[in-house]
């Protein structure tokens, strides 16, 4: 890994809206949902290829950054894969996308508005079966 200090061309995060994201998913992009597992189970966008790797973890003290995020993503996806990164509203996914770009992921895009925008557009969602609660 090379430090990004003195980089003459900082990598910029590309953000797409949920309508663009939905189209890209139909053309083989993978969806990386960076919300917590609890959020993911409550509902996530319907995508042929979807992974959940939390960027933040819920702890008794509140949410903390998942220190293994890059390693976990790197074990599941390649730096040359077409990847859309989404969260609840777009903030965590922007930070996660920034880290992925800095780590050498070349074709990663942030989904602006996240899951909330996906639901607002009435796009299809999946919910995992809830046990009695």
Q: Is 45:123 a contact under the CB 8 Å cutoff? A: yes
Looking at domain 14-124, which of 3.30.365.10, 3.40.250.10, 3.40.30.10, 3.40.630.30 is its CATH number? 3.40.250.10
Question: What pLDDT score does 110 carry?
Answer: 98
Closest of 20, 34, 19 to residue 87, by C-alpha = 34
Catalytic residue among 87, 100, 101, 111: 87
Q: How do beta strands 30-33 and 44-45 pair?
A: unpaired
6 catalytic residue (yes or no): no
pLDDT in tens, 13-70: 999 999 999 999 999 999 999 999 999 999 999 999 999 999 999 899 899 999 999 9
pLDDT in tens, 90-118: 999 999 999 999 999 999 999 999 999 99
Residue that is written with structure tokens 């903390």 in the block = 64
Cα gap 99→47, rounded to integer Å = 23
Question: What pLDDT score does 7 carry?
Answer: 41
């Amino acid at each position: 890994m090379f430090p990004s200090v003195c980089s003459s061309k900082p990598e910029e995060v590309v953000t797409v809206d949920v309508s663009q994201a939905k189209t890209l998913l139909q053309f083989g992009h993978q969806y990386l949902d960076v919300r917590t597992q609890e959020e993911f189970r409550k509902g996530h966008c319907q995508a042929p290829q979807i992974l959940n790797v939390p960027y933040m973890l819920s702890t008794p003290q509140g949410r903390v950054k998942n220190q293994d995020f890059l390693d976990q993503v790197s074990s599941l996806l390649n730096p040359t894969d077409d990847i859309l990164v989404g969260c609840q509203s777009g903030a965590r996914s922007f930070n996660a996308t920034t880290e992925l770009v800095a780590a050498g992921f070349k074709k990663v895009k942030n989904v602006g508005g996240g899951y909330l925008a996906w639901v607002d557009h009435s796009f299809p969602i999946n919910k995992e079966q809830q046990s009695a609660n």
